[in-house]
Amino acid sequence: MYPTNLTDSQYEVIKGILNDQRKRKYGLRRIINAILYISKGGIQWRLLPNNFPSWQLVYYYFRKWLLCGFWNKLQTVLREKVREKHHKKASPSLGIIDSQSIKNSEWGIPDKGFDGNKKINGRKRHIVVDTLGLLLCIVVTEANVHDSIAAETIFKRMKGKFPRLKKILADGGDAGKRLFNLARSSLKILFEVITRSDEVGFRVIPKRWIVERSIAWFNWHRRLSKDYEANMCSSEAWVQIASISMMIKKF
């Protein structure tokens, strides 16, 4: 038993979402356990321990579920269940947006850029979370893409998915009249920029600390310590899997 393995009660939650009755040589529970193990340990596919199914089979399901949208669906259902356990509505009314620049593992990986502010050559993860720190949306871009440009893609992906959403909070990097107008036109919400105080010393910015804490949570999953993926959709999937891994522990 690995610490990342699903318990019986946890798998029952996922099993209802999978809705798969087909007989298999290897149960889907073992496949998911293997993917959660890779996410937490950050190992290469070929280093998967022998007590899991073959890495080729595990990767096949990882890719299959990525293409069919299963990871996104599972993350969405678990988020709604966790919110309900905290006596909140399934759809949030407030979102908080931030980004994290991350290095690539190889020189030859495409779709990357240089973040001149953070001095990082790689990619950038743009995330939106709710007031519990649960993931609402993830977009991965080259590191040189400005946060305001990525926010446009985020707004498009979130459109129609959160009927109660009223406002998104951002830091100064997302400021811009175009984003204010885009948020109103596409999501029918307010876009508010919270700037840091000019006071000397450390000051906690209201609500902004929540998304920064979520980014710190993701760093505990070693697969996310760098961007090891050849394409951005896989990078986004691993963030969703890390989110799933954290939320499933609440069941």
Residue-wise pLDDT tens digits, 55-100: 999 999 999 999 999 999 999 999 999 999 999 999 999 999 999 9
In the chain, what are the domain boundaries? 90-229
| Other beta carbons within 10 Å of 69 | 10
Angle 38-224-234 from CA coordinates, rounded to 5°: 75
DSSP code at position 95 = E
Percent above pLDDT 90 for the chain: 64
Annotate 39-60 with b (16+ C-beta within 10 A) or e (fewer): bbbbeeeeebeeebbebebbbe
**CB-facing half-sphere around the CA of 106: CA atoms within 13 A:** 8
Average pLDDT of the chain is 89
Q: How confident is the model at residue 197 (pLDDT cuts 50, 70, 90)?
A: low
The domain made up of 90-229 has a fold known as: Nucleotidyltransferase; domain 5 (3.30.420)
Taking each helix axis from N to C end, the angle separating 28-41 and 55-68, rounded to the nearest 10 degrees, works out to 90
Please state the φ and ψ torsions of residue 113, each to the nearest 5 degrees.
-150, 180
More confident residue, 50 or 112: 50
Q: Which tokens sit at 204?
A: 């906690």
Secondary structure element (H or E) that encloses residue 63, with its range: helix 55-68
The whole-angstrom separation of Cα 218 and Cα 10 is: 20
